[in-house]
Amino acid sequence: MARCGGLLGVAEDSTGRVVLAGAPLGNTGDASQRLRDILTTADVVAAEDTRRLARLARDLGVTVGGRIVSYFEGNEERRTPELVEALRAGQTVAVVTDGGMPSVSDPGYRLVRAALDAGFPVTAAPGPSAVTTALALSGLPSDRFVFEGFLPRSGSARRSRLRELAAEPRTLILFEAPHRVGDALADLVATFGPERPAAICRELTKTYEEIRRGTLSELADGAAAVPPRGEITLVLGGAPVTAAERPADDVLRAAVAGREAAGDSRRDAITAVATAHGLRRREVYALVHSDQ
């Protein structure tokens, strides 16, 4: 089928396609040439905020060549069928959010799913991501992590969700609104404990970028004294695995050997065993290779 052709799943004829275009988090110097090209050539640009899109295009010195439509949480469900019709007409539809990659806690997923279900190709012009940027800057372990998006807005629902996440051994990444971050940190102290290491990342790549690192209690105290402003990404250290919970070295080695015997590569076996027991991959790797 033509709609499935090409290395990136992009049709070789005039069939419509969706392009998820990564936008700068704040510093326009991070914009790729592909983003510039997509803004110039796409038939339709679905923007989370059309005013921000106009500002971005102006800052990049490009002219949006196609039709601009708003595409945000409030109209995403209603507008998605309209965009699928544009695909049926052979048009390229680009999705651009206020910053970062579309569909990651931002508009885009509904269109991706609808386009794929209708047989149209979806590709990306990759760009910055607040998730991986904050993780890299946090100073916390980055080999295994979980992204949870936004916490529930109400206090009771938020605390309930945090109790479910408290035992997660992997580094945890959350988004939070500036006016709720103080309450969120207070709930994190209560559920994760005051000594859990964490980082507050705000205004990433912008003029007033700030990374606050410390324990949850320290960050909660700091947020109460000087409430963080700007877009917030929270990065939290994983729950520690106690000696009582950790299987013996021989048990871990045997688990890896069993997976290898079942057909897993050693790399996959080590990763699976580490994940199953909430351990760092490098720890299980060292155990397996120290026995050789």
Tens digit of pLDDT for each residue in 109-126? 999 999 999 999 999 999
Give the per-residue pLDDT at 227: 66
Mean pLDDT by 10 residues, the chain (292 residues): 37 75 95 97 98 97 97 95 97 96 93 97 95 96 93 92 92 93 94 95 92 95 76 92 71 88 89 79 85 58
Give the per-residue pLDDT at 291: 58
CA 144 – CA 127 distance, rounded (Å): 21
Other Cβ atoms within 10 Å of 89 Cβ, number? 11
> For the chain, which domains are there?
2-128 (3.40.1010.10), 131-236 (3.30.950.10), 249-290 (no CATH)
The answer to whether 220 and 186 are in contact (CB under 8 A) is: yes
Give the per-residue pLDDT at 56: 97
Give the per-residue pLDDT at 13: 45
Structure tokens at 102: 């579309």
Give the per-residue pLDDT at 22: 96
The answer to whether 107 and 76 are in contact (CB under 8 A) is: yes
Give the per-residue pLDDT at 7: 34
CA 11 – CA 120 distance, rounded (Å): 8
Other Cβ atoms within 10 Å of 2 Cβ, number? 12
Closest CA to 109 of 125, 97, 91: 97
Question: pTM of this prediction?
Answer: 0.77
